[in-house]
Amino acid sequence: MTRAPLSYVWDLPTRLFHWSLLALVAAAFVTAKIGGGAMVWHGRLGLAILGLLVFRIVWGFVGSTYARFAQFVHGPGAIRAYLAGSWQGLGHNPLGALSVLALLGILALQAGTGLFANDDIAFEGYLVPLVGSDLSGRITGIHHLLEKVLMLLVALHVGSILFYAHIKKHNLLKPMITGWADGKPEDSAKGGGAIAFFVAMVIAGAAVWVASGALLPPPPPSATTTPSF
């Protein structure tokens, strides 16, 4: 039996991003529900998610073919063609691209607002000193609202994967695991080498460092009480 030709679609950094983001978002959700001391880890997970998102944004410009925004962000014409069944291509389809952009945008807002949020008990986001307690409270409300929007988008994303698997008989998960999908070998992804990866990692690391409050002035020393004799 002759095997169908394959194209290398998803490079290793894109696949690692995808599955790492899934694990970190799940862990952040769990720690938020636990609360208490777990909120310290919730904050750290938020920083890690922010770093991943910055990496993915940079990788969307310097990564390999199908990871680049210019390749999979399509206009209304491509969306109409896809709905009509006449679109063909590798990587994200036009509707899948909208889902990716929506998830990246909501996650960026969620991680960003988390830097300024608090739990009304003992935990504060890393950049709360920049906004003060009143504004932090309002941002916290937005952070909680975005959680519901994020859960809705995740449900739609999972539903789409199941729809493609069971109705269209198209496995979207396997290429994101192996990197390979049905297609012509000459259409395999190109670019996104070691230098591009290094640049994306450095920018992501710098973003995490800034978001951690490293540039904020140190808090004033706590006042000491002089005993009276």
Q: For a pLDDT cut of 90, what percent of the chain falls above it?
A: 76
What mean pLDDT is predicted for residues 183-192? 94
pLDDT at 225: 58
What mean pLDDT is predicted for residues 67-90? 89
- What is the rounded CA–CA span in Å between residue 28 and residue 200? 23
pLDDT value at 129 more than 70: yes
The residue written with tokens 């009304």 in the block is: 120
pLDDT value at 10 more than 70: yes
Q: What is the pTM of this model?
A: 0.92
Strand partners, 124: 118
- What is the rounded CA–CA span in Å between residue 224 and residue 77? 68
- State the pLDDT confidence band at 221, using cuts at 50, 70 and 90: confident
Query: Which tops the pLDDT comparison, 120 or 21?
Result: 21
Strand partners, 6: 182
> Up-side HSE of residue 223: CA atoms within 13 Å toward CB?
3
Domains of the chain and any CATH numbers: 6-211 (1.20.950)
What mean pLDDT is predicted for residues 34-62? 97
pLDDT value at 4 more than 70: yes
Mean pLDDT, the chain, as a whole number? 92
> 57: which residues sit within 8 A by CB, 6+ positions away?
104
pLDDT value at 227 more than 70: no
